[in-house]
Amino acid sequence: MKERPTFPARLDFSISPSQTGRNPQPVARNALSLAAKPLVRVSPHSLAMDSSALRRNMAQKLAAQGVSDRQVLSAMGTIERHRFVDSALINQAYEDTSLPIGLNQTISKPGVVARMAELLRNGAPGRLGRVLEIGTGCGYQAAVLSLLANEVYSIERLRGLHDRARENLRHLTIGNLHLLFGDGMLGFEKGAPYAGIIAAAGGESVPQAWIDQLAVGGRLVAPVSRGASNGGKQALVVIDKTPQGLRQTVLEAVHFVPLKSGVA
């Protein structure tokens, strides 16, 4: 396994739209320090909401739905989801529903986030190694993943959402989470190989760049379109990269925003 890149402690990385080659270089932007610490209510967006009981109840419901991974349930019960939604929707933050976050994007249902995180972990006894998230969105799933992996790289193609995620996560200090602005279909080769790759958008196929950047022994979890004959409906797909090759498992139907290339 090649040596991972070293990152300054307080640096936010962006991929320039012009850097579409195989070795995109990080560009220093505004400093952003993110590291697992108790959450501090400093933002007016939090509305001083005490969500501890709501988070416990949400985690209990996820367990009743079949989520059994204790680390996933702990992470879901720790991250305050109401910090990542609009104030007008704050009362729905802990319901098992997707909510709009702007730019025709949504924050995934807690049940979907937990399900995909559990699939990604695949029963690992401890934290995963390096993980790549395709589609930062509002930053909620990235925050959850930061509690489940040693290092998380999360890439977003929409500048507005990238900036929003940075703002949503500013009240935390999570040193193992790196936010990037760039084309998620290219992945992020500088951080590869990854123990896990998770996508929050679905295309007709899994980009080859993701497969190339997945470590042998690693796992990829993503929604994939089942084709025009199925009305473009998506299914959750798990790809395991073994020494003998790729092993693909198609699971339940899901609905995610479409996977797109480029930045905007």
pLDDT at residue number 127: 97
Q: Say which of 46, 108, 146, 154 is annotated catalytic.
A: 108
Q: What is the pTM of this model?
A: 0.83
What CA–CA distances, in Å, run from 239 to 34, 47, 54, 69, 193? 29, 41, 34, 19, 15
- Only one residue has tokens 């937990």, namely 114
Of the listed ranges 38-47, 107-116, 125-134, 171-180, the least confidently predicted one is 38-47
| pLDDT tens, position by position, 64-85 | 999 999 999 999 999 999 999 9
Mark whether 108 is an active-site residue. Answer: yes
More confident residue, 30 or 263: 263
Domain containing residue 206: 27-34+53-254
| 205 lies in some domain | yes
Q: Which two tokens stand for residue 5?
A: 């890149």
CA dist 153 and 194 (Å) reads 10
Query: Looking at the domain assignment, is residue 262 inside a domain?
Result: no
Q: Which residues, at least 6 apart from 245, have a Cβ–Cβ distance to it below 8 Å? A: none
**Rounded to whole angstroms, how far apart are CA atoms 141 and 154?**
9
Q: Report the number of distinct structural domains present in the chain.
A: 1
In a domain, residue 86? The reply is yes
pLDDT band at 228 (very low <50, low <70, confident <90, very high): low
The verdict on residue 263 lying in a domain is no
Could you tell me if residue 224 is inside a domain? yes
Taking the C-alpha atoms of residue 109 and residue 226, their distance in angstroms, rounded to an integer, is 21
Residue 114: inside a domain? yes
Burial bucket for residue 89 (CB in 10 Å: 0-12, 13-18, 19+): middle
pLDDT at 229: 59
Please write down the HEC assignment for all residues of the chain. CCCCCCCCCCCCEECCCCCCCCCCCCEECCCCCCECCCCCCCCHHHCCCCCHHHHHHHHHHHHHCCCCCHHHHHHHHHCCHHHHCCHHHHHHCCCCCCEEEECCEEECCHHHHHHHHHHHHCCCCCCEEEEEEECCCCCHHHHHHHCCEEEEEEEECCHHHHHHHHHHCCCCECCCEEEEECCHHHCCHHHCCEEEEEECCEECCCCHHHHHHEEEEEEEEEEEECCHHHCCCEEEEEEEEECCEEEEEEEEEECCCECCCCCC
Model pLDDT, residue 208:
98
Q: What is the mean pLDDT of residues 9-30?
A: 38
pLDDT in tens, 169-192: 998 889 999 999 999 999 999 999
pLDDT at 10 over 60: no
Is residue 158 in a domain? yes
With respect to residue 12, please indicate whether it lies within any of the assigned structural domains.
no
In this prediction, residue 203 has a pLDDT band, given cuts at 50, 70 and 90, of very high
CATH code, domain with 155: 3.40.50.150
